[in-house]
Chains A and B, each alone.
Chain A
Amino acid sequence: MAQFIQFVLTRAAMAVMTLMIVSLIVFSLMELVPGSCAERYLAFKNTQGSQITIADIEAEERRLGLDRPFPERWVKWVYKVFVHGEFGESCILRLDINQLLADKFLISLGICLAALILSYAIALPIGIISASSKSAVANNTMRFVSYLGLALPNFLLALIIMLFATVWFGESLTGLYSKEYRDAAWNWAKFMDFLGHAWLPVFVLGWSATAFALQTVRALMLDEIGKLYVTAAAARGVLGAKLLWRYPAKHSLGPVVNSLGFDLNRIFNELPVIAMILTLTESGALLIESLARSNDQQLAGAIIFLLTASIVVMNFATDILLALIDPRVRRGLMG
């Protein structure tokens, strides 16, 4: 038990270290964007009829602390984020990022996790069955469907669904809520309404994720299924589903659990494009808005950081899970 706690603590410390390194990378990336936050802030003063001068920009840079050296600003940023959980203000929207992201990031994460769960809920049983099945029809069908999932880009799928919806139902299927719930506080009715809209992004994101997971599970299963211990078990009279679940399926599970964090990342990468097409208003949409069309470094930095943090947390969780399933992992790590 002590060994296990030590393992958890070590992993936690490593996760925090990773987060620090990630924050450094994110912060450096924010530096590379042309134009500073001061300029974007000041641009709004133009609406009051005042001209922005170089002197104004420099004064604003001093006010925002942008004239300080890079390491100092990074330390301050990290301190604010880690200790106070504050990301500052968005340059273009001039709104507090914490307020702006509030439930938006959780919604994005929820959508991605739902897509992840959906993909494994489908991929695990079907992958296992298809790997063991000798039926050519079943195998080819599965192969066809999963190739389609891999080959058809998500944004195209979203567009096709929207187009069908437009032509047949006269409804563009965009957004995350019906308008009567848009401004409402979270309650059961709003949540149900949200589910009524969220299925589409979950489905679209889950589509390719499922195909990907299917291929993985099937390949892992095929690897295991021909091994000697399986043949030996079969020779001992363990047959059919029992044989499948007890031996090769259990062994192929390890790598799958291990790759959950990676899969989440891949799904989140797809999210902004889907969000743009479906006019979702969660953080994926904000990310593409702030990164590609607005150069809002503060906001983009915050979202990327939160995303990375979720993946690090996810990896931490899967490591613990793996260690629970498989003692070899614990021992391997602890030496």
Chain B
Amino acid sequence: MKKYILSAFAVLAMPAAAYANCPGITVADMKGVKSGAYPQQYEVAEFEAAAGCKMSFSSNPDAASLNARIQGNPDLPPLADRIPQEPLVVVPYSSIGKYGGTLDALSNATEAGTSDFLSIRHVNLVRYSDDLQTIVPNVAKSWEWNSDYTKLTFHLRAGHKWSDGQPFTSADVKFWYDNLMMDTNVFEKPKDYALVGGERMTVDTPDATTVVFNLPAPKPGLLAHFATSYAQGFQPKHFLGQFHPGISADADAKAKALGFENGYAVIRAYYGSSDWTDTPSPMLNSPDKVAKMPGAAVPTLESHFVVSETTEGRHFVANPYFHMVDTSGQQLPYINEMDEIYANDHEVRLLKLINAEVDYKSQSLGLPDAPILLQNMEKGDYTVQIKPRISMPTVSFNVTSEDAGKRAIFGDLRFRKAMSIAMDRNAINETAYFGQGEARQYVGFSPVPSFVDSKWLTFATEHDPAGAKALLDEIGLVDQNGDGIRDLPGGAPFILNLQFAQQGLPGQVVELIAQSWNAVGIQSAVKEVTPDEYRSAQSSNQLDVGLWEKSQPLAIVLGNNELWVPPFENYFAHRTGMLWAEWVDSNGASGVEPPEYVKQLMNDINAFQSTPVGTPESNAIGARMVENMTSNLLFLGTVLSAGPIYHRNALKNVPEFMTESYEYYRTYPYRGAQWYLDE
């Protein structure tokens, strides 16, 4: 009898329990709540079912005052009208956070070394989970592929809003694709990730929350692109559209009223004509006009919004319309403000880190910096994680140099091989990386997939100065005037200018490379420049030697062909063969025709992206790509190592990183929106 009464009570109590407050579970303590469809996050209904509770939401008490600092934003509506009807429930790593504080970040310059910090507030349609294996929802609530990977459908969140309170819908995705990416007034040429085998896609919007990408050929890697790239597949149509001549008839008139030449000029001021969101905002590029403009920067879906910008730094406040909540129902982000300052000098950056003037930093640090950072860890009350890297410092030669003499030399495989075996990779490893790294040839993929024959990893990596000298003699690079330095076959002096930026690779590594080349008679002069200068010299084909890190994981190669098509990566990264690229771009009308193996690479990457990964066919193509890339030594690998990740101990909910790398978009898998400051 007692048993029955108790169970009757239990039955009566259950609905009440179901409507109790939700437990603030964390990754560290799930309190018995089962994981949802994806690790460390839930949809609201999914979480309520798993935890047997009803979520109620609460907002940052400072939201109104932060909102007031965003130019053009109206007064804040209540929280329920700000977050989507189905906000994304994020499980914090170790504890439910608290609101407030300012995160201090350190970058190199306005457009240099900022991706690390940008990745903290970054959002995209989807995201890699911190296992770097699982793609999980983010801005998109869900997605599905059709069976042959030619149709990718995203479902957005109902009621999702931009940082100015306007609705975010499928039209914003279509606007980004049709009116920005495919508009030659904005992008002269669409980026590869927006194309499939060079062909454009189409974007359908059956309703406000559904977006369909129709692909002309299979490209399963498109999803991974949206998970790893800084480029976001959406822009606010309501905002940028008013200045877009294709959307709004009075776009140019509106632009003129603001003092711009035409509508596209306003779009350029906001969007920077770039999918890179850290281009200067109107606050920096049009300070005399910004007061009258509808906003000081373009509305965002990111966790924070830029409210001031100078040549010294940027300042951000929390986005009051952000679409994530924690498991206790508090709207994210926890951190109120973010402050970014620029320091282009490496030693000064280190000093600031040691003094704990920065909350988080990883980009532009290398293993050579680890000892001094580790030594001061206790005093500065910060933590340094040393994690494996994905890319490594690589060296290339300008195979399409403007200087005909140099072009002939750089284009000679024997020269590139000589330079590769002249390098003492073990000495680099010992001196710069304390013997912790691994000498490697560049094969294009990192980590190395199983279809790569291991012989390529050590191809031409042996240290053989005598062999290098013999090769150089063979191609006629000999010392003609008896000064111990090799001259060009015509007798002109041959000097390699090694311009590098610390953001690309450690100066120590460059100096060791230069030493080993000088030792075989190739005069090499080292000069440190800013990343901006390095990039513009590279773009205008003025570098002798490319020096930057390189390599990408398989998942990214599947979505973006840039590593395999001249100039073999984008503006921000390591490129060579600029005139080959011009030839490819102009369909042979100008530039320099690339050799056969490069054409083969271009064909193979298209086939590779359209072939299901892991099949024998795909593996065969992959193996051929690696062979072509590696045996031709367009890029010389050096040492694959680990790198430091720095964060102050007051910054909480920062987990152990899997890698210290750019490739999964730095901190994006580790969910910066749930980081908080405990001071």
Which A residues form the contact surface with B (CB < 8 A)? 34-35, 39-40, 42-55, 57, 92-95, 99-100, 162, 166, 170-172, 174-175, 179, 182-183, 276-277, 279, 281, 289, 293-295
Chain A residues with CB under 8 Å of B540's CB are 35, 39-40, 42-43, 52, 57
Asked if A49 and B537 sit within 8 Å, CB to CB, the answer is no
Asked if B571 and A47 sit within 8 Å, CB to CB, the answer is yes
Asked if B539 and A170 sit within 8 Å, CB to CB, the answer is no
Asked if A166 and B354 sit within 8 Å, CB to CB, the answer is yes
Chain A residues with CB under 8 Å of B581's CB are 51
Q: Which of B189, B191, B571 has the most CB of A within 10 A?
A: B571
Min CB distance, B6 to chain A, in Å? 61
Chain A residues with CB under 8 Å of B356's CB are 170
Chain B residues with CB under 8 Å of A170's CB are 355-356, 379-380
From A50, A95, A166, A293, B189 is in contact (CB under 8 Å) with A50
Asked if B536 and A182 sit within 8 Å, CB to CB, the answer is no
Q: Closest residue of chain B to A40, judged by CB?
A: B536
Asked if A174 and B542 sit within 8 Å, CB to CB, the answer is no
Chain B residues with CB under 8 Å of A294's CB are 529-530, 532-533
Asked if A42 and B539 sit within 8 Å, CB to CB, the answer is yes
Chain B contact residues, majority secondary structure? loop
Chain A residues with CB under 8 Å of B191's CB are 49
Pairs across A and B, CB under 8 Å, 11 listed:
A39-B540, A43-B539, A46-B539, A46-B571, A48-B273, A49-B189, A50-B187, A50-B188, A57-B540, A94-B280, A295-B533
Which B residues form the contact surface with A (CB < 8 A)? 104, 110, 186-192, 273-274, 276, 279-280, 284-285, 287-288, 308, 310-313, 315, 339, 341, 343-345, 348, 351-352, 354-357, 379-380, 528-530, 532-533, 535-542, 570-572, 578, 581-582, 585-586, 590-591
Asked if B535 and A94 sit within 8 Å, CB to CB, the answer is no
Asked if B311 and A281 sit within 8 Å, CB to CB, the answer is yes
Asked if B354 and A51 sit within 8 Å, CB to CB, the answer is no
Q: Closest residue of chain B to A170, judged by CB?
A: B355
Q: Closest residue of chain A to B589, judged by CB?
A: A53
Asked if B190 and A49 sit within 8 Å, CB to CB, the answer is yes
Docked CA distance A294–B355 (Å) = 28
Docked CA distance A52–B578 (Å) = 8
Asked if B351 and A166 sit within 8 Å, CB to CB, the answer is yes
Docked CA distance A51–B538 (Å) = 12
Docked CA distance A100–B288 (Å) = 12
Asked if B110 and A289 sit within 8 Å, CB to CB, the answer is no
Chain B residues with CB under 8 Å of A179's CB are 104, 313, 339, 341
Docked CA distance A175–B356 (Å) = 15
Q: Which of B276, B536, B537, B570 has the most CB of A within 10 A?
A: B536
Docked CA distance A121–B110 (Å) = 40
Asked if A172 and B355 sit within 8 Å, CB to CB, the answer is yes
Chain B residues with CB under 8 Å of A34's CB are 542
Chain B residues with CB under 8 Å of A52's CB are 539-541, 578, 582
Q: A43-B537, A293-B344 known; 8 other A-B pairs, CB under 8 Å?
A: A43-B535, A47-B273, A49-B192, A51-B581, A52-B540, A92-B533, A95-B311, A281-B311
Docked CA distance A43–B530 (Å) = 14
Min CB distance, A82 to chain B, in Å? 22
Asked if B187 and A35 sit within 8 Å, CB to CB, the answer is no
Q: Closest residue of chain A to B288, judged by CB?
A: A99
Given contacts A95-B284, A170-B379, contact A53 B274 (CB under 8 A): no
Chain B residues with CB under 8 Å of A175's CB are 341
Chain B residues with CB under 8 Å of A57's CB are 540
Docked CA distance A16–B586 (Å) = 51
Asked if A55 and B312 sit within 8 Å, CB to CB, the answer is no
From A46, A162, A276, B351 is in contact (CB under 8 Å) with A162
Asked if A44 and B536 sit within 8 Å, CB to CB, the answer is yes
From A51, A93, A293, B311 is in contact (CB under 8 Å) with A93
Asked if A35 and B542 sit within 8 Å, CB to CB, the answer is yes
Asked if B310 and A51 sit within 8 Å, CB to CB, the answer is no
Asked if A182 and B312 sit within 8 Å, CB to CB, the answer is yes
Asked if A100 and B311 sit within 8 Å, CB to CB, the answer is yes
Chain B residues with CB under 8 Å of A293's CB are 344, 528-530, 533
Chain A residues with CB under 8 Å of B351's CB are 162, 166, 172, 174
Chain A residues with CB under 8 Å of B312's CB are 182, 281
Chain A residues with CB under 8 Å of B280's CB are 94-95
Given contacts A43-B535, A46-B539, A174-B348, contact A95 B528 (CB under 8 A): no
